[in-house]
Amino acid sequence: MRLPRISEFQERFPSLESYWRSVILFGRNTSTYKFALARALGDLAQDDKTEATLDEIAIPFARHMCEHLLEAPKQTTGRPGKFIETCSSFNLGAIDEQTLIDTAVSDGFSYVLRAFHNVNGAELPLKFFEVSGSGRGRRITMNDNLFRTLEVAPSVGDETEARWKLVESAWEMGVSTSLISVSYDGETETLLRSTKEAARRKRLVSARAALNGYQKGQCFYCYDTIDLDGEKGCDVDHFFPHMLAPVLPEANIDGIWNLVLACKECNRGEKGKFARVPDVRYLERLCKRNEFLISSHHPLRETIMAQTGATEKQRRSFLSHIDRKAVSALIHRWKAPERGAATF
């Protein structure tokens, strides 16, 4: 029996980063409290705090929510609760910081602390923090799982921000997610949002930050460790080369489905891919990566399905069709030596 996509993401090669990313990337969201809590936990961990009262964690928790409300007023699918309304009032200068913190403590943590480790209707087999006490006296203890995750995968903060912006963007538009399209801007290496109803386009997030979690911080081709920038910084690569656009009118070559992250050696090193078609072994990997994206919903799911097919069978057929045309046009295939263990 095939594992559900979320379980497959977690269990093929279980790691702390995989479990953390499953919290952030997968499952349906009704509010963005989870993202604010994840950012707050990261802030406290960076300050080497292993324990915090609700009052202490409420400060970064509320700050991140207030910052996002300035750009995207809709942070929930339902009516905004008292905490979000208070954050909005704080942004307007109508209340002071202490009132904001008090409201975060009394109303901001009602469900998120309990629900954080729940993915796809079940608890994770491990936790990143523990909650003790009751009421305002509750304390959050960050454990080794959290610190080790942040140590081995420092990009998870950027990935959380990217995921948060994609989710709130779908809600902000006030239209069905099926009408939203996400595309890639090669000049700025960012994802853009538009709708079928209007020519509104908005820059969303770095493509690197949005895609990195689904590749678990590894090069798509060789599995070497990659970073979002710096010495191990990655490139955004078109799996099927961009130069194929004229011969593939049926495919959006800049679509999310065709974008992967590659190390510089694979993308443009001495023996890099450049404008060649990847070996057929990578086609299955692309299909699996796209299914991970589809499992994450809002709005990458609808974009990929609209561009490649409504069912997995149709999407596989689409990729095979594009692959045949790509090889007919460019002839040569390319493959990379594996430099790391396969984890996706």
**185 and 100 co-located in one domain:** no
Distance in angstroms (rounded) separating the CA atoms of residues 305 and 256: 10
User: Does residue 161 lie within any of the structural domains?
Assistant: no
* 3-state helix vs strand vs coil in the chain, percent to 5: 50, 15, 35
Residue type, 292: F
- Establish if 339 belongs to a structural domain: no
Q: What is the pLDDT of residue 30?
A: 82
Range(s) of the domain holding residue 329: 166-334
Identify whether residues 251 and 285 lie together within a single domain. Answer: yes
Long-range contacts, 144-148 (Cβ 8 Å, 24+) = 145/16, 145/19, 146/41, 146/45, 147/45, 148/16
Q: Position of tokens 């929510």?
A: 65
Q: Are residues 194 and 324 in the same domain?
A: yes
Picking from 152, 181, 212, the residue at the C-terminal end of a domain is 152
Q: Are residues 175 and 112 in the same domain?
A: no
Q: How far apart are CA 89 and CA 132, in angstroms?
A: 31
Asked if residue 341 belongs to a domain, the reply is no
Give the per-residue pLDDT at 52: 97
Per-residue tokens: 233? 């910084």
Does 182 lie in the same domain as 124? no
3-state secondary structure 15-52: CHHHHHHHHHHCCCCCECHHHHHHHHHHHHHHCCCCEE
> Does residue 107 sit in the same domain as residue 222?
no
Is residue 159 assigned to a domain? no
Q: Quote the pLDDT of residue 179.
A: 46
Count of the separate structural domains present in the chain: 2
Peptide bond into 299 cis (omega under 30): yes
Position 344 in a domain:
no
pLDDT tens string, the chain, 344 residues long: the values are 344 566 666 555 568 888 999 899 885 678 999 999 999 999 999 999 999 999 999 999 999 999 999 999 999 988 999 999 999 999 999 999 999 999 999 999 989 999 999 987 788 889 999 999 998 899 999 999 999 999 999 999 999 999 998 888 777 765 444 445 677 888 888 888 766 544 455 666 788 998 999 999 999 999 999 999 888 889 999 999 999 999 999 999 998 999 999 999 999 999 999 999 999 999 999 999 999 988 886 567 888 999 999 999 999 999 999 999 999 999 999 999 989 888 88
141 and 78 part of one domain: yes
Tally of CB atoms within 10 A around 199 = 7
| Residue 141: closest CA among 99, 111, 113 | 113
Phi first, then psi: give them for residue 323, nearest 5 degrees: -60, -45
Q: Is 340 domain-assigned?
A: no
Residues 117 and 172 in one domain: no
Please tell me whether residues 148 and 276 are part of one structural domain: no
Q: Can you read off the two tokens belonging to residue 215?
A: 């590749």
Are 81 and 206 contained in the same domain?
A: no
Query: Phi, psi (5° rounding) for residue 44?
Result: -65, -40
Q: Which of 215, 209, 210 is nearest to 340 (CA)?
A: 215
Structural domain includes residue 232: yes
* Amino acid present at 337: P
Q: Indicate whether 212 and 129 sit together in one domain.
A: no
Domain boundary, last residue among 152, 174, 207: 152
Looking at residue 343, what is its pLDDT?
A: 84
Identify the bridge partners of residue 129 per DSSP, sorted by sequence position.
Answer: 142
Judge whether 188 lies within some domain: yes
Residues 187 and 224 in one domain: yes
Q: What is the pLDDT of residue 187?
A: 81
- Structure confidence at residue 198 (pLDDT): 47
Predicted confidence at residue 27, as pLDDT, reads 56
